[in-house]
A = this chain, B = another copy of it.
Amino acid sequence: MGNITLRILARELKLSTATVSKALTNSHEISEKTKQRVLDLAQKLNYTPNPYASGLRNKKSRTIAVILPEVADSFFAQVIDGIESVAQEKGYHILIRLTHESFQKEQAILKDLRGGRADGILISVSSETRDSSHIRELQQKGIPLVFFDRVCEDIETAKVVTDDFDSAYQATRHLLQRGCRRVAFLYISPDLSISYQRMEGYKKALADHQLSWQLSDMVACTHDPVANHRILTGLMSRAHPPDGVIATVEKLVTGIYLACQELELRIPWQVKVIGFSNLPSAMLLNPSLTTITQPAFEMGKAAVSLLFRELEGKPISGEPMVIPSVLVVRGSTAL
């Protein structure tokens, strides 16, 4: 299926490809008449330039790669939405790559990106990522890179995060103020920047209420719902189970609700629950879920905007950009 090319237009119009090219980019060195002829034919033949050819020539792909752990998660889905809203305006295309929380996959994906497939990269690292040399390598090649949400603290580049420390602090304080005395903290990976920040916020809130944190109350969960179910029913059937739970990951909310249901622990009476979640249905849960709601869409927009600034050679502030989350109080922490 012979696609329409510049050359075909040129031949048809008895012009050179250079002239046609210039006419299509509305160059001032081309006469109005010629421009019109070119435009008319291009229109008629449904000509669309091959982006890879011009990209090759200009050494830019007008494509940005978005690397994230998963897409079937309301936070990441909303981030993509935010990214797309800006990229599309700028005529950029979005390549989505999922790591499924695997460090190996993340490495492979970044390696693949060295060849010039994308002009810039937006990344939220996998929960397994401890070493960041694969990312640094890309950076040294001069490819602009912006972290969002899950950052590598040891890499100096633009970052967009939410106030993880503060929101965990607020969540914990809220539970304590509502009478909880033993608050469990559920997280996935201790290596993640966000887990660490949130954990510190949690500890600080406990300390500010003259409570000391217990290692056994900080519960590491997994990506496997079945394993999580075991872990969480285990937690809630301890001799002294927590009377408050903070699920710092959306998918752990389901786990803790189910565990409580199964053990016939009534939320919020026997245990109060807060979830870091962007689910629109939080208000419809049984009971409605008190959440830390993250500015997912805005984070996506901010991250891609920073990336564009870099691509345009404008200066970027050294400090991570922080967009606050909000505590939305609902039934799961009612008195």
Verify A112–B61 contact, CB threshold 8 A: no
Chain B hits for A84, CB < 8 A: 71, 96-98
Instruction: Count identical subunits in the complex.
Output: 2
A234 CB within 8 Å of chain B: no
Contact of A286 among B48, B77, B115, B286 (CB under 8 A): B286
Kindly specify which of A22-30, A51-59, A319-327 makes contact with the partner chain. A51-59
CB A83 to nearest CB in B, in angstroms, measures: 9
Verify A48–B93 contact, CB threshold 8 A: no
Given A111-B48, A284-B285, check contact A95 B94 (CB 8 Å). yes
CA distance A229 to B201 in the complex (A): 38
Give 1 or 0 for each of A268-303: 1 = CB within 8 Å of chain B CB.
000000000001110111111000000000000000
Give 1 or 0 for each of A65-88: 1 = CB within 8 Å of chain B CB.
000001111100110110010001
Chain B hits for A280, CB < 8 A: 251, 254
Task: List 9 A–B pairs whose Cβ atoms lie within 8 Å, in order of A's numbering.
Answer: A1-B142, A46-B137, A48-B115, A50-B115, A254-B280, A254-B281, A254-B283, A279-B281, A286-B286
Which residue of the partner chain B has the closest CB to A1?
A: B142
Chain B hits for A190, CB < 8 A: none
CA distance A95 to B3 in the complex (A): 21
Chain B hits for A174, CB < 8 A: none
A308 CB within 8 Å of chain B: no
CB A75 to nearest CB in B, in angstroms, measures: 10
CB A334 to nearest CB in B, in angstroms, measures: 13
The 3 closest A-B CB pairs, nearest first, are A1-B142, A286-B286, A48-B115
CA distance A277 to B52 in the complex (A): 39
B-facing residues in A102-124 (Cβ within 8 Å): 111-117
Give 1 or 0 for each of A236-257: 1 = CB within 8 Å of chain B CB.
0000000000000001011001
CA distance A77 to B49 in the complex (A): 31
Chain B hits for A98, CB < 8 A: 81, 84, 88
Give 1 or 0 for each of A126-143: 1 = CB within 8 Å of chain B CB.
000000000001000110
CA distance A280 to B257 in the complex (A): 12
CA distance A116 to B113 in the complex (A): 20
Chain B hits for A286, CB < 8 A: 284-288
Verify A93–B95 contact, CB threshold 8 A: yes
Given A3-B116, A72-B77, check contact A50 B56 (CB 8 Å). yes
Give 1 or 0 for each of A174-190: 1 = CB within 8 Å of chain B CB.
00000000000000000
Extra contacts, 18 of them, besides A84-B96, A95-B96 (Cβ < 8 A), are A3-B141, A48-B111, A50-B117, A52-B52, A52-B55, A52-B56, A52-B61, A70-B81, A71-B77, A72-B77, A72-B78, A84-B98, A93-B95, A93-B97, A93-B117, A94-B97, A254-B283, A279-B279
CB A139 to nearest CB in B, in angstroms, measures: 11
CA distance A224 to B286 in the complex (A): 25
CA distance A74 to B56 in the complex (A): 37
